[in-house]
Amino acid sequence: MAGQTGTILAMRGIQKRFGDVNALDDVDFCLGEGEVHALLGVNGAGKSTLIKILSGVYSKDGGTIEIAGKAYDLGSPRAAIEAGVAVVQQHPELVGDLTGAENIFLGHESAKPGLFSRIDRSGIAARAQAMLSRFPIDIDLGRRVADMPAVDREIVAILHALRLENARILILDEPTSTLTEREKASLFSMMKTLKAAGIAIIYITHRLEEVFEIADAFTVFRGGRNVATHTVKEAREKKISIPNLMLDSDKGLTFPPRSQKTDGDIVLEAKNLSAEGLFRNVSFAARKGEILGIFGLVGSGVDELSKALFGVVAPNSGEIHLKGRAVRFRSAAQALQAGIFLVPGDRRSEGLTMDEDVVFNTTLANLGRASLGGILRFGDNRKQAAALAAKVDLQPPKLDRALRGFSGGNQQKVVIAKGLYRQAEVYIFVEPTVGVDIGARSKIYSLMREISRDAAVIVISSDCDEVHGVADRTVALYKGAPIGAPDRATTRDQLLSAGIMGEMTA
């Protein structure tokens, strides 16, 4: 699809096989100069394979690639960089103790290469200023990266990718997955600056609403094929449903039926729970047999509330009751032992050991069950992990693979399998589908509903549609204060207004 001044990238008839699996089947993809083009599809649809071919990680089995009208093979990452392709991964790794400018030119600190060459700090500063002249962005590159907000770290990673003057195609993989709404707006502002400078951007996201906020066009992959390419303007005018294209279904994303049981036993109850400066006077009852939903934007106190229920944040007033008995947890271990399991919002740093395999992660939260006399039950643990991997539909079901090698959706499934192995009485899901594709989201929602039959389930999310769609009862947090009562029926618009405006509409 042509961009502002012409086509910068043309991939035609791209083929890629892995054994018997046809990962890409005669795929065409075009990108215009100065265009933001969203690349969409569920896990395994083929979009990641296409990007790895473009960035030189994989070699194509067939087809042609042209960049600015010149044919390339791109058989290595170096070849892709020399052709002008820059990549920013979903979780860019930066050096926290170095400044933004030093991170941008990491590995190229000296003007003269050599074993004993000195770091040219004045040269680094000058080159950083030249980049800001090329891409006018409001950022202090002299600040340590460890002291920067998340959006500035993302910008530093982008500038690092664009440090070479020949860079003309930028690939962004889930760049907003850890950003607040305000930070997202800052990132989108930078992307517009890059567009104006002629940089073409391939934008990978699972947040479909962002396609209409920032993209000029989008392409949907399904089953290794390019099934649709549309401009955003065309999609708006024709009311094209992206979820339908991704799932090959007229139903799009659906939620499991709500519970018909409204009188289940109260398992977990909060009574006027407060933590100074975080949230105040929060009350609710979570019952066995249903899902309680709590909606709140980043900064509303919802994440801190989840951690208070799990013993990580200490409330300064109010009470928590577990099965009718007042409890006060001083650690996550105490909450876990009492029967509460937290699926955290940041699964990579708080929920999983990324360099360990599926069996290790699945059994980690219940070592008493996983061992006998201090010795791990290796055979039984593997059997249990395999059964739970099948239950959560882990794809691929490779028990010996480190979690780092799985997609975000499959990593989340392993966290849930870990909770199921724990056999808890209360499950708290925080931002359960961040960075998760539509297919995996549907599976996770079904798992939540299944878990709620035997336990109390609380879903805490900044996605209003998710909370309203999956929960039986809902409440919103606005600047730390609860808005609405979870014992009253709430429409989607009422919940949205409560969480964004702090007002419950009629």
User: Same domain for 491 and 373?
Assistant: no
Distance CA 435, CA 204 (A): 10
Q: Which of 217, 247, 277 is the last residue of a domain?
A: 247
pLDDT-derived band at 331 (thresholds 50, 70, 90) equals very high
Q: What is the pLDDT of residues 136-192, one digit of tens each?
A: 888 889 899 999 888 898 899 999 888 888 899 999 988 887 677 788 888 999 999
User: Same domain for 144 and 174?
Assistant: yes
With respect to residue 29, please indicate whether it lies within any of the assigned structural domains. yes
pLDDT of residue 450: 94
pLDDT of residue 2: 39
pLDDT of residue 237: 94
User: Same domain for 37 and 167?
Assistant: yes
φ/ψ of 464, rounded to 5, equals -60, -45
pLDDT of residue 118: 58
Distance CA 83, CA 164 (A): 11
Residue 332 or 117, more confident:
332
What six digits make up the tokens of 267?
């398992």
Task: Average the pLDDT over each of 38-42, 176-180, 202-206, 279-283 and give the range with the smallest value.
Answer: 176-180
Task: Average the pLDDT over each of 155-169, 241-255, 363-377, 442-456 and give the range with the smallest value.
Answer: 241-255
User: Same domain for 130 and 73?
Assistant: yes
- Cα distances from 167 to residues 136, 160, 164, in angstroms, run 16, 11, 6
With respect to residue 503, please indicate whether it lies within any of the assigned structural domains. yes
pLDDT of residue 253: 58
Distance CA 225, CA 321 (A): 52
Averaged pLDDT, 125-131: 85
pLDDT of residue 184: 85
User: Same domain for 99 and 220?
Assistant: yes
User: Same domain for 375 and 334?
Assistant: no
Total-model pTM: 0.60
Where do the H-state alpha helices sit in 162-301?
181-196, 208-214, 232-238, 242-247
User: Same domain for 476 and 397?
Assistant: no
With respect to residue 313, please indicate whether it lies within any of the assigned structural domains. yes
Task: Average the pLDDT over each of 54-68, 199-213, 311-325 and give the range with the smallest value.
Answer: 199-213
Residue 56: CATH number of its domain = 3.40.50.300
Distance CA 65, CA 56 (A): 12
Q: Does the pLDDT value for residue 251 go beyond 50?
A: no
User: Same domain for 258 and 398?
Assistant: no
Q: Does the pLDDT value for residue 474 go beyond 90?
A: yes
What six digits make up the tokens of 329?
């947890």
pLDDT of residue 250: 46
User: Same domain for 159 and 279?
Assistant: no
With respect to residue 439, please indicate whether it lies within any of the assigned structural domains. yes
pLDDT of residue 116: 46
Residue 22 or 387, more confident:
387
pLDDT of residue 19: 75
Q: What is the pLDDT of residues 99-114, one digit of tens each?
A: 899 888 886 655 555 5
Residue 433 or 203, more confident:
203
Angle between helices 438-452 and 408-422 (to 10 degrees): 10
With respect to residue 2, please indicate whether it lies within any of the assigned structural domains. no
pLDDT-derived band at 325 (thresholds 50, 70, 90) equals very high
Amino acid at 219: T
Residues in the chain: 506
Q: Which of 222, 247, 272 is the last residue of a domain?
A: 247
Residue 308 or 484, more confident:
308
Asked if 418 and 353 count as a contact pair (C-beta separation under 8 A), the reply is no
Task: Average the pLDDT over each of 5-9, 97-101, 159-163, 435-439 and give the range with the smallest value.
Answer: 435-439
With respect to residue 346, please indicate whether it lies within any of the assigned structural domains. no
Q: Which of 371, 389, 423 is the last residue of a domain?
A: 423
pLDDT-derived band at 212 (thresholds 50, 70, 90) equals very high
Choose among 381, 307, 367, 373: nearest CA to 342. 307
pLDDT-derived band at 229 (thresholds 50, 70, 90) equals very high
Choose among 379, 386, 433, 442: nearest CA to 411. 433
Distance CA 267, CA 287 (A): 5
Number of domains composing the chain: 3
Averaged pLDDT, 83-92: 87
Residue 273 or 262, more confident:
273
Structural domain boundaries enclosing 276 = 253-339+426-506
pLDDT of residue 93: 81
Asked if 333 and 505 count as a contact pair (C-beta separation under 8 A), the reply is no
pLDDT-derived band at 3 (thresholds 50, 70, 90) equals very low
